[in-house]
Chain A
Amino acid sequence: MAKIKYIEFNGTEHEADVANGLSVMEGAIQNDIPGIDADCGGGMSCATCHVYINDDEWFKKLPEKEMGEDDMLDQAFEPKSNSRLSCQLIISDDLDGLTVHMPEKQV
């Protein structure tokens, strides 16, 4: 279980306890947190669950991107070097306290 903080583009903050094994994306969807669309349902094929990890320490701590994630991020709205697809961030106790920022929009 990890407590994840989701911050919308307008600054609205949401917190959710997300069970291990789910993704950061699923944590948002299951808790009705706006700002993450996840059109493809977690298949790393749509880039609509895009988030920024603004804290550099956290960014480095996250599991490394798999092949394909950066390719998909090319197609996201305003990708940056601290962009991740939240469907690829699988929750474990290690992620407790992670904060993700949502982009202005997903499409």
Chain B
Amino acid sequence: MIKTDVVIIGAGPTGLFCAHQLGIIGLKCEIVDNLDKIGGQCIELYPDKPIYDIPAVPKCTGEELTNNLIEQIKPFNFNFHLSDRVQELKNEKNKWLVKTLNGKEFETPNIVIAGGVGSFEPRKFPTKSAEKYDGKSVLYSIKDKTIFKDKSVVIFGGGDSALDWAIELSNSSKVTLVHRRDEFRGAPASVQKIKELSDNKTIDLITKYSIKDIKGNGSLESVEIKSETGDSKVIKADYVLGFFGLIMQLGPIAEWGLNLDKKTIPVNTENFETNKKGIFAIGDICTYPGKLKLILSGFHEGALAARGCFKYARPDEKYRFEFTTASSTIKDRLGVKE
């Protein structure tokens, strides 16, 4: 059991800056994110896309923004719990007991939900028949590539994951790559390589087709694909891999008794607390009149939520407002030597 002042759910820019604000006012926090890296949507969706509306930063990419935020909270040495997800919350004597999917437990008076639009999960095949084989012979990520040796593998998708795995597995498996159109969004070098492999018949490349059905009798036998014009083909398959990017699901957050408005959590604008005492929501996941889904709004929300957390973390102390330019206490916390 880890005791802390605040558990932050979500390591995107909003969660990171909230952690900074907590550090500045002398609170400890633990940060949980179900991605395997820090940065949230900035890193997962647009690491290379320039952002133009961070105050005083005319232009930076999602990755640069993330790296700077990580740098900014370094002095506080907060723990990150990546590839993990907060699953369960229980209230006990004004404390929240938090359990994660990987079995970690926290005791904290405050939870800050900075979960964006939920957690990222792989987009799955739309066909019902795929569910039966999910995790066994229908896969959306690869942990052990040796299982594909000498097998027939049908890969769906047109992005880097699909192309890279098609290239990689073509060495030791019979690979068919299926994509819904002729163009690929993967790196040009990979697209070129795929075309070469297709030309010399190392892989079967089928475009303008998508999945129709998965067939098998106990174990997977074949996959049926269809074109928009109504043609269909059956391909023998031991494994079917789908790489259609990630979708965002609210997940367990929906089960914590919080008021919800569509996929967002209503909060007050004084401290961004939800209808549950000690649970705050900031960033894209919160809603209030006038809400803007901007990173800068998330920063503001995180700063105020941090002060809200102070009240429950230090019930016997009075919060004192200080500037980072003037306060020696804050400079000590930042490890600044003068």
Q: Is A40 in contact with B117, judged by CB distance below 8 angstroms?
A: yes
Interface string of A59-89 (1 = CB under 8 A from B): 0000000000011001101111100000000
Report Cα–Cα, A48/B246, bound state, in Å.
11
Say yes or no: A74-B117 contact (C-beta < 8 A), given A41-B293, A45-B46, A46-B45: no
* Chain B interface residue count, Cβ-Cβ cutoff 8 angstroms: 25
Interface check A39, CB cutoff 8 A = yes
Q: Is A74 in contact with B157, judged by CB distance below 8 angstroms?
A: yes
Instruction: List B contacts of A37 (CB < 8 A).
Output: 263
Interface string of B205-244 (1 = CB under 8 A from A): 0000010000000000000000010000000000000001
* Chain A interface residue count, Cβ-Cβ cutoff 8 angstroms: 20
Q: Is B245 in contact with A75, judged by CB distance below 8 angstroms?
A: yes
Q: Is A45 in contact with B45, judged by CB distance below 8 angstroms?
A: yes
Picked from B126, B159, B293, the residue with its CB within 8 Å of the CB of A71 is B159
Interface check B147, CB cutoff 8 A = no
Q: Is A41 in contact with B284, judged by CB distance below 8 angstroms?
A: yes
Interface check B180, CB cutoff 8 A = yes
Smallest beta-carbon distance A31→chain B, Å = 14
Q: Is B247 in contact with A74, judged by CB distance below 8 angstroms?
A: no
| Contacts A39-B263, A81-B181 supplied; 5 other A-B pairs, CB < 8 Å | A41-B293, A45-B45, A45-B46, A74-B157, A80-B228
Residues of A within 8 A of B (CB): 37, 39-41, 43, 45-48, 70-71, 74-75, 77-81, 104, 107
Residues of B within 8 A of A (CB): 41, 45-46, 117-118, 123, 126, 157-159, 179-181, 183, 185, 210, 228, 244-245, 247-249, 263, 284, 293
